Amino acid sequence: MANVLVTGGAGFIGSHLVDFLVNKDYEVTILDNLSTGNVSNLKQAFMKDRVTFVQGDVRDFVTVSKCVREKDAVIHLAALTNIPRSMENETETFDVNTKSRVCSPFPKTTGASPCSTLSMNSRITAP
Ligand SMILES: NC(=O)c1ccc[n+]([C@@H]2O[C@H](COP(=O)([O-])OP(=O)(O)OC[C@H]3O[C@@H](n4cnc5c(N)ncnc54)[C@H](O)[C@@H]3O)[C@@H](O)[C@H]2O)c1
């Protein structure tokens, strides 16, 4: 069965996706630094033995390189999504949302675009 990495898997969308994947018998690795997510979102998934949780940061090349090894696909959902918080912590939000190391070593990556990045971009380009 396919082996999938879900970044941000302890978050809202990620944890539901992880439940879906384990119920379809996928082997799932979750990479999440728990900055806003919570392992309690993964209670159901942890009942299966096909889940591996890695607490780490998507900006860390070594961690990401280990996590993507031998994966068939990566679903990249790790992000800082809170818009007011993104205005207060622009640099961190920009770094997490645009400088993750997930895409660089692995071509079969898909994910969602964080709305806080869009809001930051529109703020940056505003006259
Ligand atoms: N929730 C929605 O309705 C919605 C709609 C459209 C798009 N999206 C996008 O889907 C993605 C996930 O959204 P969500 O609602 O599940 O957000 P969420 O905040 O619930 O989950 C994001 C997860 O990423 C983790 N994370 C943050 N920074 C990290 C880092 N540096 N390294 C590793 N993990 C990190 C957090 O701990 C959290 O578990 C985002 O890109 C979001 O913009 C969400």
Instruction: Write down the residue that tokens 């400088």 correspond to.
Output: 99
Domain 3-125 fold is: Rossmann fold (3.40.50)
Q: Give the atom of ligand 1 at the shortest distance from the alpha carbon of 37.
A: 39
Cα 80 to ligand 1 centre (Å): 6
Q: What is the pLDDT of residues 64-99, one digit of tens each?
A: 989 988 898 889 999 999 999 889 999 999 999 888
Cα 91 to ligand 1 centre (Å): 17
**pTM of this prediction?**
0.88
What pLDDT was estimated at residue 9?
A: 97
Cα 32 to ligand 1 centre (Å): 10
